[in-house]
Amino acid sequence: MRTTASILHLDLDAFFAAVEQRDKPSLRGKPVIVGGVGLRGVVSTASYEARVFGVGSAMPMHEARGRCPNAAFLSGRFDAYRQASAVVMGLLRELSPLIEPLSLDEAFVDLAAGPARALDDEWLLQLAAQLRVRLTEATGGLTASVGLGSSKFMAKVASELAKPNGVRLVTPGTEADTIAVLPARAIPGVGPATMERLTKLGVVTIADLRELSAAELVRELGKASGEHLHELASARDDRAVEPERETKSISMEDTFEHDVADAEVLAGVAERHAAKVVSRLVKAGMFARTVTLKVRWPDFSSVSRSRTLNGATDRVEVVAQVAKALLDGLDVSQGVRLLGVGVSGLVEVAQEPLFDLEVAAPGRVVEEAEAPVSRRPLTWLPGADVVHAEFGPGWVWGSGLGRVTVRFETAATGPGPVRTFAADDPELASAVPPEGPVEPMAPAAG
């Protein structure tokens, strides 16, 4: 264990929703929910204004609409999210060459690998405060919660305690006392299935977990998981901050001769693809952290949904279960032209014992939509950037019955007017993605 709180964990606050509020002035201070907008979609991110109503990540979208009917429900703009993420990761790289991105909105930084100096608590807190100010300026108003600790686990706990928009440093030597009162679910990898087993042992808090012996946890959860949880419950964590690896992936996809709208048939295809992907994964001697499902619709538009696990796996049943869960979140009644399954975030060491087969719970679903190959999408997605020949740039407020409603505003204009057009109005088009290189990043995680 380190003697300084030299590991920093940064988590952008309600990232996707915050980017939408930044770029859409009329939504600032109002509930915003980003995710799959179909009947079976799920929430990716909810703004803090929406969280007041009990809306959270991974919640079915229909439930979110019931809890917060007056929210703005948006499909997401991943070009904008990637660009904001690239700016933030660039700021972190100025602090240290050792950064470990976990998703678009989250990363660890090893400050001890940066410029040599005394890493006392006062200096670390000052650095974190300066980082947050620079981040807000560089991103046009986004905020972040920052945690500082002697390990990755403690830095992550500290950032959770700092939310929203704060800084927390856990002084070395106080780690065990700091986490004692936290729920056992605060430990990474303790999902619903694991928590159910722990509850039978009388565990509610981390302090309760600490009272159990390593042998008891191993007996209940298995050797690797039991021993690891026993260490973390006592705030012992010696994992290093590992820089981002070169992006690698393995995938399998199939274009159907006729569109397929049968969910069970598609689930079977996803399972077969998962088996082929894992076979190639095993031959390569690798393990995967992220599972991705790709679907192409009859109009040639596409959607990709990803989930990053709490570890790495080479098990067919794990990849298949995640792929089918991702598919289950889509409304396939319109038919599917192409279905693909892929894995990425490849590593050489398995890290999966923490989650068993409870893989549907950890991690946030990241959903990315691609418009049809045409100048104007056949379906106007809520929140999408558009441009009108007369009124200029705006975004889709809503659509249906052959019409599309647009609010004309940008981050710099302030709240703008709303206009409704025919869905096939030739003067209305999907906006060109923002120019400029986008640094490749790991997909969003849980």
Asked if 43 contacts 23 with a C-beta cutoff of 8 angstroms, the reply is no
Amino acid letter, residue 257: E
**Rounded distance between C-alpha atoms, residue 428 and residue 185, angstroms:** 48
**Rounded distance between C-alpha atoms, residue 379 and residue 404, angstroms:** 9
**Rounded distance between C-alpha atoms, residue 130 and residue 54, angstroms:** 32
- 370 is an active site residue: no
- Strand 144-149 and strand 392-400: the pairing is unpaired
**Rounded distance between C-alpha atoms, residue 422 and residue 252, angstroms:** 39
Per the residue annotation, which of 106, 175, 367, 409 is the catalytic one?
106
- Strand 336-344 and strand 288-296: the pairing is antiparallel
| Cα–Cα–Cα angle for 441, 443, 446, rounded to 5 degrees | 130
Residue position matching structure tokens 């229909």: 62
Name which of 155, 159, 204, 154 is nearest 183 in CA terms.
204
Q: What is the DSSP letter of 438?
A: -
85 class by beta-carbon count within 10 Å (0-12 exposed, 13-18 middle, 19+ buried): buried
Asked if 11 contacts 109 with a C-beta cutoff of 8 angstroms, the reply is no
Residue position matching structure tokens 């031959």: 283
125 class by beta-carbon count within 10 Å (0-12 exposed, 13-18 middle, 19+ buried): middle
State whether the Cα torsion 272-273-274-279 is positive or negative: positive
Helix, strand or coil for residue 210?
A: helix
**Rounded distance between C-alpha atoms, residue 244 and residue 356, angstroms:** 25
Q: What is the DSSP string of 130-142?
A: HHHHHHHHHHTS-
| Cα–Cα–Cα angle for 71, 73, 79, rounded to 5 degrees | 130
Residues with a known catalytic role? 106
